[in-house]
Amino acid sequence: MPFFRLVGICMLVALTSTQLFATTTDELAKATDKGKTVFLLVFEPNAQGMEPAREIVNAASSQVKKSTVIQLDRADATNSALVAKYRLAGAPLPLIMVLAGNGAIAGGIPAANTTTEQVVKFVPTTKKAEVLKAVQDGQSVLITAASKKMPKETSMSSACAAACGQMQGKCTSIKINLDDDDELPFLNELKIDPQSKEPVTVVINAQGQVTGSFAGAVEVSNLVQAATKKAGGCCGGGSSSSCSPTKK
């Protein structure tokens, strides 16, 4: 057999073997590296309702650009770390989870209780994905929504940066452009008027609770106080979520 043909066959076998033995963890890491939304279907070999569940995630993926479907077998010992990470041990199966392109958990719901449309709604905007990731990493978040033409935008950004500096790495500052139509769903969720004439800052603490909303200029001390406060409301993934700010 010619040498180059032999080498080609060996390379094909090696590639096929790598694909066959790629773990769910590998698949998720690859999706995150490429910034893909993941529709994660969690199951066990004897789980009922798998076909309808697959139809839902496949249909959802077809509606969302840059997305993929990955299956996670909860009974497979190689997935034990993922089961612990996503707290799946007692979850009803099959379960559909949505992971944002940055790996943040955007939502999860039993397949029997949902539709394709509901699953697609879990897919976050780019800025909401950043917020979810920060909170899931144990950070408080200062969200400033403004347009670049606003005169106070720079001072608000400086105030947020100073507040995060005082919190010694336990805070993240995120900006949202009020003129970005793609972020309208998240602005509505935060109850921020996209037609606002001045910057609006919403504070979310490390528990994912919305603890403050400030229009215009705000003192750094007030931002720090809000970021370390515990209150009702949330801005995390799950079968439902709310990012409605506490009025101040």
Q: Retrieve residue 48's tokens.
A: 């009922």
* Domain extents in the chain: 3-121, 126-227
Confidence of residue 1 (pLDDT cuts 50, 70, 90): low
* Structure-block tokens of residue 31: 């999706």
Strands of 200-204's sheet in order across: 171-177, 140-146, 200-204, 210-215
In contact, 227 and 235? CB cutoff 8 Å:
no
Q: What topology does CATH give the domain 3-121?
A: Glutaredoxin (3.40.30)
pLDDT tens, residue by residue, 135-191: 999 999 999 999 878 876 778 889 999 999 999 989 999 999 999 999 999 999 999
The model's confidence at residue 7, banded by pLDDT at 50, 70 and 90, is very low
Model pLDDT for residues 128-143, shown as the tens digit of each residue: 999 999 999 999 999 9
pLDDT over 90 at 71, yes or no: yes
Fold matches, 3-121 and 126-227 = yes
pLDDT over threshold 50, residue 246: no
What is the pLDDT confidence band of residue 234, given thresholds at 50, 70 and 90? low
Strand partners, 41: 71, 96
User: 67: which 2 tokens?
Assistant: 């997305």
Rounded to two decimals, what is the model's pTM? 0.84
Query: How far is Cα 40 from Cα 66, in angstroms, rounded to an integer?
Result: 14
**pLDDT digit string, tens, across residues 28-70:** 999 999 999 999 999 999 899 999 999 999 999 999 999 999 9
CATH class entry, domain 126-227 = alpha beta
Q: What is the pLDDT of residue 230?
A: 83
* Pairing state between β 140-146 and 67-73: unpaired
The encoded tokens of residue 108 equal: 């999860």
pLDDT band at 199 (very low <50, low <70, confident <90, very high): very high
